[in-house]
Structure 1
Amino acid sequence: MSGKKPNLLFDFGGVLINIDYQRTVEAMRRLSRAGSAIEFTQQSQSALFDLMETGRLTPPEFRAELRRHYQLEASDEALDEAWNAMLLDVPAERLAYVAELRAQGHQTALLSNTNQIHIEEINRRLHTQYGFRHGIADCLDRVFYSQEVGLRKPGPEIFAYALREMNWQAAETLFIEDSFQHIETARRLGLPTLFLAPPLTLTAALPAAIRAFPASIT
């Protein structure tokens, strides 16, 4: 593999976009009659959110289930605003760096656990801020959303799906992720990894990981 440029498989939240799960937890709590906290964190989540992230709930069904499970009293617009509160900014330097990597000959793809409401909001923001027509897909060779694939991390099936669709070999693909449970699956499947634990950022940590490839970066 000497001299071969690794394929780059990016997570979205915490890698390309900044996120803060607690902002959504608190926003939802404020809408709850009982002050209930939703079961949604970086490490784990309830089945309701799994269903939304694998496309088995429509946005109206998701909102109805949120209201029922957590005794929420809010309009659709208020629920969406609370659900999207975790989404922060997409720094321009990260997008520029990904563009630079593609220009250098790296193949790139996104592998993200996400849902229709978040996808639409991020695409709207990227269009407003950067003029993107197709959201983050404008920056990458391919985008794999759990919502559209019907699978989610940390299950190995979604990794296998992305590798097969891209015609990539695991050993030739660097996976960049900020959730360790997803890193563990990737490593079991033979992918070199970059665990982007805070305070590491993509632009600070990825250059060294590419130079060290194919060694795993912890």
Structure 2
Amino acid sequence: MINTIIFDFGDIFINLDKDAPIIEFKKLGLHEWHDDLNDLNLKFEKGQVSELQFINGFQKHVPTASIEEIRNAWNSVLLDFPLYRLEFLQLLSRKYRLFLLSNTDAIHIDKFQHKAGMTFYREFYQCFEKVYFSFELGMRKPDSEIYKYLIQKHELIPKRTLFIDDKKENTDAALALGLQVWNLQVGTEDVVHLLDKKII
């Protein structure tokens, strides 16, 4: 019997447009997504580089772009967070231990909180026993250490813990550690269909 649920954030609660940053950066003059930018993103998600270092990394490729233009292009991935998903989460929080585990960075979280507003994001965060962002933890999915950290810190029983993520490599890593998983298919499934899945 499941008693704990760990949720991803992007495309589980907040909708994403993963092509938007590529389009927006192209407008700024970045016509090729260089390997160093992928590496920079991974480091930023682990909190290993500062926001300024991250932006400077992009300015090497788009020197005419301002800090604000780079920040806006980076944040273009973030879309809406439907209220019905928050209401669903609030209902779940009465019955289950809930955690949020997201690969994300300081720029995206600042933008989400500013866009959603204090009342909304506080109500969202209050649904969880603990909210974990990769840039604060210094770890990211699908590395096994991040799952082990949650399991040990909160004394979770893997077989009674459900992990929900839209990326298969992330759910595969959790499954290998004995967690129950749902690899949510974006576009055809919604987190509010959880009860229909008969897994909790």
Per the normalisation by structure 1, the TM-score is: 0.85
Q: Per-residue CA shift, 1:6-27, capped at 9, x if unaligned? A: 3010000010110011001111
**Among candidates 74, 77, 80, match of residue 65 of structure 2:** 74
Amino acid at match of 2:199: A
2:51 corresponds to which residue? 59
Separation in structure 1 between the aligned mates of residue 11 and residue 63 of structure 2, nearest angstrom: 27
Name structure 2 gaps, 5 residues minimum.
none
Deviation at 1:125, TM superposition (A): 1.9
Quick check: 1:113–1:146 contact (8 Å CA) kept in 2? yes
SS in 2 for 1:13: coil
1:85 corresponds to which residue? 76
- 2:110 aligned with 1:120: yes
SS in 1 for 2:48: coil
Q: Per-residue CA shift, 1:52-78, capped at 9, x if unaligned? A: 00001111100001111x335211111
Separation in structure 2 between the aligned mates of residue 163 and residue 38 of structure 1, nearest angstrom: 36
Deviation at 1:36, TM superposition (A): 2.6
Separation in structure 1 between the aligned mates of residue 162 and residue 176 of structure 2, nearest angstrom: 13
- The change in CA–CA distance for 1:187 and 1:17 in structure 2 (over 3 A counts) is same
Amino acid at match of 1:212: I
SS in 2 for 1:64: helix
Name structure 1 gaps, 5 residues minimum.
214-218
Amino acid at match of 2:32: S
Q: Per-residue CA shift, 1:12-50, capped at 9, x if unaligned? A: 001011001100111111112x5233669xxxx821111
1:200 corresponds to which residue? 189
Q: Per-residue CA shift, 1:139-181, capped at 9, x if unaligned? A: 3221110000000011001111122222211111100110011
- 2:170 aligned with 1:182: yes
Deviation at 1:80, TM superposition (A): 0.8
Separation in structure 1 between the aligned mates of residue 163 and residue 144 of structure 2, nearest angstrom: 13
Q: How many pairs align?
A: 199
Quick check: 2:16–2:79 contact (8 Å CA) kept in 1? yes
Greater relative contact order: 1 or 2 (C-alpha under 8 angstroms, separation 6 or more)?
2
Quick check: 2:2–2:162 contact (8 Å CA) kept in 1? no
Quick check: 1:31–1:72 contact (8 Å CA) kept in 2? no
- 2:97 aligned with 1:107: yes
**Among candidates 36, 42, 45, match of residue 50 of structure 1:** 42
Per the normalisation by structure 2, the TM-score is: 0.92
2:22 corresponds to which residue? 25
Q: Per-residue CA shift, 1:85-142, capped at 9, x if unaligned? A: 0001111011000000112x201000100000001111112226xx236474233221
- The change in CA–CA distance for 1:11 and 1:39 in structure 2 (over 3 A counts) is farther
Separation in structure 2 between the aligned mates of residue 172 and residue 28 of structure 1, nearest angstrom: 43
Deviation at 1:51, TM superposition (A): 0.4
Off by >4 Å, runs of 4+ in structure 1: none
Separation in structure 1 between the aligned mates of residue 48 and residue 85 of structure 2, nearest angstrom: 32
2:10 corresponds to which residue? 13
